[in-house]
């Protein structure tokens, strides 16, 4: 039986940029007309004001980065020790590759190889502002820097066939649709696994999850005004994500390949919250998930509802729920749990050996 290793991590865009720009998502939120009454830090929760400080979060950004990078280095060391044949990444798509003509709930990307130029397009931290193209990345790499990634098409075909046979009607694709690279969830994950730029040549199997569901096009303003209510279908339920994760592990354990299974996302996102607070993450909701994980109760996540996680801005947590399903019988080693009020989302890093 082939062995698997579970990894939970983030693909937070702010980690790509210098500390002075890490709070840009908050700055963008505060520019919205609806946020006019929130622009004065005196109206913020005390802990948020403290993190913002007198330098607009610059000192806090250095700490936020250090903790994430330390956790990533521990995860990378564990992956290196495991010596995998492939790395499967459950990641989301923000109308980058899948757009109005096709939005699959799940899709394995059966590429042979793919070249990404992540700094040429900006990211969530720069897009839609005058900052596009104006921020150097933290590695000081050129804007057209290319990263060539090997993919594991054979393992992807084996997995897809096994999931279909098990009753999971997953889609698959041999080439990109609208985005000729890996989307940011996958690319950032790979960039961060090689944060120290010593090379990362493990073949990758990108596994798309439609985390954004009914908010996918609303955020992009595709249908009328941003925020306009439309009857857009939702994403896959937490229960289905959990069961798909379980099935993924069962199939891969029958394969000849040692696999790392990664659930990649931050937890609640400030800009996605539906409860009227678009200023900071839903720390209370995230703490409940963290307590489940710490106590070995991540099996409870299958009982969450889509409305519950989306109300808290935890849309992308579906990627972690897939991982939780795969690791349903293993206890997590929490490498770090990094809370924040001002950097859009709290981050968790975990290993399931």
DSSP structure string for 180-192: SS--HHHHHHHHH
- Pairing state of beta strands 4-9 and 347-352? antiparallel
What does each of the 353 residues of the chain score in pLDDT, given as a tens digit? Answer: 899 999 999 999 999 999 999 999 999 989 888 778 889 999 999 999 999 999 999 999 999 999 999 999 999 999 999 999 999 999 999 999 999 999 999 999 999 999 999 999 765 555 444 443 457 899 999 999 999 999 999 999 999 999 999 999 999 999 999 999 999 999 999 999 999 999 999 999 999 999 999 898 875 555 444 455 567 899 999 999 999 999 999 999 999 999 999 999 999 999 999 877 788 999 999 999 999 999 999 999 999 999 999 999 999 999 999 999 999 999 999 999 999 999 999 999 999 99
Give the model's pLDDT for residue 32: 83
- Which residue carries 């992308």 as its tokens? 316
Pairing of strands 113-116, 147-150: antiparallel
CA-wise closest residue to 236 among 319, 153, 146: 319
What is the predicted pLDDT for the residue at 232?
84
* Long-range contacts (CB closer than 8 Å, 24 or more residues apart) made by 112-115: 112/150, 112/151, 112/153, 113/148, 113/149, 113/150, 113/151, 114/148, 114/149, 114/151, 114/176, 114/181, 114/182, 115/146, 115/147, 115/148, 115/149, 115/181
Instruction: Copy the structure tokens of residue 326.
Output: 């795969």
Going by C-beta distance under 8 Å and a sequence separation of 6 or more, which residues neighbour residue 252? Answer: 2, 4, 88, 155, 159, 259, 261
Pairing of strands 347-352, 333-338: antiparallel
CA angle 208, 326, 99 (to 5 degrees): 10
pTM for the whole thing? 0.94
> What are φ and ψ of residue 6, in 5° steps?
-100, 140
Q: Are 262 and 87 in contact (CB under 8 A)?
A: yes
- The 3-state secondary structure of 273-304 reads CCCCCCCCCCHHHHHHHHHHHHCCCHHHHHHC
In 3-state terms, what secondary structure has residue 26?
Answer: helix
**Alpha carbons 128 and 46: distance in angstroms, whole number:** 30
Q: Which domains, ranges and CATH numbers included, belong to the chain?
A: 4-352 (3.40.830.10)
Taking CA atoms, 193 is separated from 89, 188, 263, 290, in Å, by: 12, 8, 13, 22
Which pLDDT does position 130 carry in this prediction? 42
Q: Count Cβ atoms below 10 Å from residue 252 Cβ, excluding itself.
A: 25
Residue whose tokens read 């009914």: 214
CA distance 71 to 13: 16
* Summary count for the chain: helices (H), strands (E): 9, 10
Q: How far is CA 197 from CA 60, 70, 138, 144, 217, in A?
A: 24, 14, 12, 17, 35
pLDDT value for 135: 73
What helix, strand, coil percent values describe the chain, rounded to 5?
40, 15, 45
The alpha helices in the chain, defined as continuous H runs, are: 24-31, 46-52, 58-82, 153-165, 184-193, 238-253, 283-294, 306-311, 318-326
Question: What is the structure's pLDDT at 220?
Answer: 54
CA 82 to chain centre: 23
């Amino acid at each position: 039986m082939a062995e698997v290793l579970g990894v939970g991590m983030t693909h937070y865009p702010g980690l790509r940029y210098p500390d002075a720009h890490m709070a840009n998502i908050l700055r963008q939120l505060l520019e919205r007309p609806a946020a006019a009454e929130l622009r004065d830090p005196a109206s913020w929760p005390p802990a948020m004001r403290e993190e913002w400080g007198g330098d607009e979060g610059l000192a806090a950004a250095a700490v936020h980065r250090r903790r994430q990078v330390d956790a990533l280095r521990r995860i990378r060391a564990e992956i290196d020790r495991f010596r995998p044949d492939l790395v499967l990444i459950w990641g989301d798509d923000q109308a980058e590759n899948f757009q109005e003509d096709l939005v699959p709930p799940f899709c394995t990307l059966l590429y042979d190889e793919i070249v990404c130029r992540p700094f040429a397009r900006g990211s969530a931290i720069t897009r839609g502002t005058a900052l596009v193209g104006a921020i150097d990345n933290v590695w000081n790499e050129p804007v057209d820097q290319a990263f060539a990634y090997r993919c594991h098409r054979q393992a992807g075909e084996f997995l897809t066939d096994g999931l279909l046979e098990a009753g999971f009607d997953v889609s698959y694709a041999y080439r990109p649709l609208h985005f000729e690279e890996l989307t940011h969830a996958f690319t950032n994950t790979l960039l961060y696994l090689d944060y120290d730029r010593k090379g990362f040549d493990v073949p990758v199997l990108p596994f798309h999850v439609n985390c954004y569901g009914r908010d996918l096009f609303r955020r992009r303003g595709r249908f009328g005004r941003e925020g306009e209510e439309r009857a857009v279908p939702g994403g896959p339920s937490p229960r289905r994500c959990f069961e798909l994760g379980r099935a993924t592990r069962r199939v891969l354990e029958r394969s000849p390949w040692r696999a790392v299974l990664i659930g990649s996302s931050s937890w609640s996102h400030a800009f996605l919250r539906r409860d009227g607070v678009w200023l900071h993450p839903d720390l209370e909701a995230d703490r409940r998930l963290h307590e489940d994980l710490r106590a070995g109760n991540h099996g409870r996540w299958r009982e969450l509802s889509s409305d519950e996680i989306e109300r808290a801005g935890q849309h992308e947590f579906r990627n972690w729920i897939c991982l939780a399903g795969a690791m349903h019988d293993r206890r997590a080693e929490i490498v770090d749990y990094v809370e924040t009020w001002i950097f859009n989302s709290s981050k968790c890093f975990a290993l399931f050996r």
